[in-house]
Amino acid sequence: MKCLLRYSVLYQLTPLLIALLLLGCGSSTPADQTPDTPIDLEQSDTVDTDSCATELCSSCPDPCEGETPVCDEANQVCVSCMSDEDCSANEHCELTNNICLSCVLHSHCPSESPFCLLPDGICAGCLTDNDCPTESPVCNPETRLCESCTADEDCTLTGIAQTCNTESGACVECLSSTNCESPTPYCDEGFCKDCEELSICADPTPICNIETGSCAECVVAGDCPPEKGMCNLELRCVECMFDSHCIDPALPYCVPALGECGECLFDNFCSDPDKPICDVETGLCVAPEPEPGEECISNADCSDPDKPICDVETGLCVAPEPEPGVA
């Protein structure tokens, strides 16, 4: 009986307890709204508009204008440009800072000023000395124009052209042929070239030797005439290179200086007492030259018929002694 009475009291108090709980929690729904009515965020006290920075709010300032007329939707800021279409004619959008510049790439620049200088976005004639030609090898860091050299030190980045021609202001490979070596031994317009490139070979050296780049009399025997049918190591057409090439008994020796056959190579080859000296330039035996103040060394030096005799003690040509008994 006691248990039935206890449950009957609790059953009667339950609606009252529920009502009191609802009254203590309260409701965020205004009196004129039902729970299903949409909430106006602009009027809702749950949105804190003061905590949103002006440029980072839900949209860009409306409108973006002045120097920053374009909205960067991703970052919600006003910028100068987002693409080339946002810039004026002949300008390009630099996407790192979103600003319009005359150039961003070298391809945006004309041929006379082919390099884009960043971050300024200015087309320039050069950025470094590497951008300059040999005729004006120095890049002026102020004007960004290529200028003339004034010393060899200005020509360190111009390849083979390491010498400054101070007259022209250009870097060159050579100033004269003495600066050149084989196989390009000739200096032409500041650069070493070979004979084939220049087409300069003519008599007496009409053949271009490709190995040395210089002109020669011959390269092979076929370049020589029949009377001098051999091409020696000096690339000269010669009659002989060895004694065995000399078939005339009177001229049995090959004279190296001439490449021709001669009668001697040394003085001891000369048997004529009047011609005891071997002229190595001609390969012929000759009489010795008189000393200064002497007319003759042998009778062969005396051409005066009245004085056909050489006095070897005085070196003078004299008349012959009268024969005994002749007045």
User: Do 279 and 316 have their domain in common?
Assistant: no
Q: CA–CA separation, 69 vs 64, rounded Å?
A: 4
User: Do 194 and 139 have their domain in common?
Assistant: no
Non-local CB neighbours of 240 within 8 Å, separated by 6+ positions? 230, 246, 254, 259, 260, 261
DSSP letter for 326, please: -
> Does the residue 272 lie in any domain?
yes
> Does the residue 22 lie in any domain?
no
Non-local CB neighbours of 195 within 8 Å, separated by 6+ positions? 186, 201, 208, 209, 213, 214, 215
> Does the residue 49 lie in any domain?
no
Q: If 0-12 CB within 10 Å is exposed, 13-18 middle and 19+ buried, where does residue 289 land?
A: exposed
List the structure tokens of 226: 């029949």
Note down pLDDT in tens along the chain; length 327 residues: 334 334 444 444 445 444 444 444 444 444 444 444 443 434 434 434 343 444 444 467 678 888 899 999 888 899 999 998 999 888 899 998 899 999 999 989 998 889 999 888 999 999 999 899 888 999 998 899 999 999 999 998 878 889 999 999 999 999 999 999 999 999 999 999 999 999 999 999 999 999 999 999 999 999 999 999 999 999 999 999 999 999 999 999 999 889 999 999 999 999 998 889 999 899 999 988 777 878 887 888 888 999 999 888 888 999 998 877 655
User: Do 62 and 119 have their domain in common?
Assistant: yes
Decide if 64 contacts 73 (C-beta within 8 A): no
Decide if 108 contacts 116 (C-beta within 8 A): yes
> Does the residue 47 lie in any domain?
no
Residues 13-53: tens digit of each pLDDT = 445 444 444 444 444 444 444 444 443 434 434 434 343 44
Q: Which candidate, 281, 50, 188, places its Cα nearest to that of 199? A: 188
Non-local CB neighbours of 168 within 8 Å, separated by 6+ positions? 135, 148, 190
What global pTM score does this model have?
0.47
> Does the residue 157 lie in any domain?
yes
User: Do 212 and 230 have their domain in common?
Assistant: yes
User: Do 296 and 311 have their domain in common?
Assistant: yes
Domain total for the chain? 5
Q: Which residues form the domain of 144?
A: 128-172
- The count of residues in the chain is 327
User: Do 117 and 135 have their domain in common?
Assistant: no
User: Do 61 and 119 have their domain in common?
Assistant: yes
> Does the residue 46 lie in any domain?
no
User: Do 101 and 132 have their domain in common?
Assistant: no
> Does the residue 73 lie in any domain?
yes
> Does the residue 223 lie in any domain?
yes
